[in-house]
Amino acid sequence: MQDDQPLKPANILNIVATNQGLRPLTAQIPQAKPLTTQKLKDLKAAGHAIVDTRSTAEFGAGHIAGAYNVQLSSSEFEQRVGWVVPDDTPIILVTGSSDDAQRAIYKMAFIALDTAVTGYLDGGMGTWIEAGEPLITIPQIDVHTLKHNLSKHGWHVLDTRDQDEWNEGHIAHAHFMPYT
């Protein structure tokens, strides 16, 4: 009966406690707080998790070291944040805009994660780059390059999609390792 249900996020006990009235609901509309580059660096050093909500292409082009890429455009955004960020870890958002930061916090409120958000990088990655901070990049390739390298160089594909997506079709000989 539960086969088609998503996996439980790491903070499931907090969600249950909120539902049972043991943990307070958000008392007001959650607000995104802008953070400077320096403040983000300080909070990251203190153990805050960074969740980069931009597209995989934008993330691959340049992101902050250690950031988790959880696309805001995903219908499972808030659940995926709950899966990748350890329970009770404060969160900093990197978004495309302040409106995106606000939208992310609203979505995270559905699973009691809005109170974990310390703020968002004001000005996004443009601010980070202007400050001369380091970027981590992940090269992106197109399907033709992938096909060539699979056959000529023995590349391996790691498919991190959900089980139902994998079942609908996947690259031959790909290795299945779901995101969750």
Residues 37-89 have pLDDT tens digits of: 999 999 999 999 999 999 999 999 999 999 999 999 998 899 899 989 998 89
Residue 79 lies in a domain: yes
Q: Is the pLDDT of residue 8 over 70?
A: no
- Tens digits of per-residue pLDDT, 107-123? 998 888 888 899 999 99
What band does 180 get if pLDDT is binned at 50, 70 and 90? low
Q: Is the pLDDT of residue 12 over 90?
A: no
Residue 73 lies in a domain: yes
Residue 96 lies in a domain: yes
- pLDDT for 65 equals 98
**Across all residues in the chain, what is the average pLDDT?**
88
The percentage of residues in the chain with a pLDDT greater than 90, rounded to a whole number, is 54
Q: Is the pLDDT of residue 11 over 80?
A: no
Give yes or no: residues 157 and 85 share one domain: no
- pLDDT for 23 equals 63
Give yes or no: residues 99 and 125 share one domain: yes
- pLDDT for 25 equals 61
Q: Is the pLDDT of residue 27 over 60?
A: no
Residue 115 lies in a domain: yes
Residue 79's Cβ-count burial label (10 Å; 0-12, 13-18, 19+) is buried
What band does 34 get if pLDDT is binned at 50, 70 and 90? very high
Query: What is each CA distance from 159 to 59, 83, 175, in whole angstroms?
Result: 18, 17, 6
Domain extent, residue 36, equals 31-130
Directed axis angle between helix 98-109 and helix 77-84, to 10°?
80
What band does 133 get if pLDDT is binned at 50, 70 and 90? very high
Residue 170 lies in a domain: yes
Residue 95 lies in a domain: yes
Please give the Cα distance from 26 to 46 (Å, whole number). 25
Higher pLDDT: 118 or 156? It is 118
Q: Which among 79, 120, 83, 129 has a CA at the least distance from the CA of 98?
A: 120
Give yes or no: residues 111 and 147 share one domain: no
Higher pLDDT: 10 or 156? It is 156
For residue 38, how many C-alpha atoms fall within 13 Å in the half-sphere facing its CB?
0
Q: Is the pLDDT of residue 28 over 70?
A: no
Give yes or no: residues 56 and 105 share one domain: yes
Q: Is the pLDDT of residue 172 over 80?
A: yes
Residue 76 lies in a domain: yes
- The CATH number of residue 124's host domain is 3.40.250.10
Give yes or no: residues 52 and 84 share one domain: yes
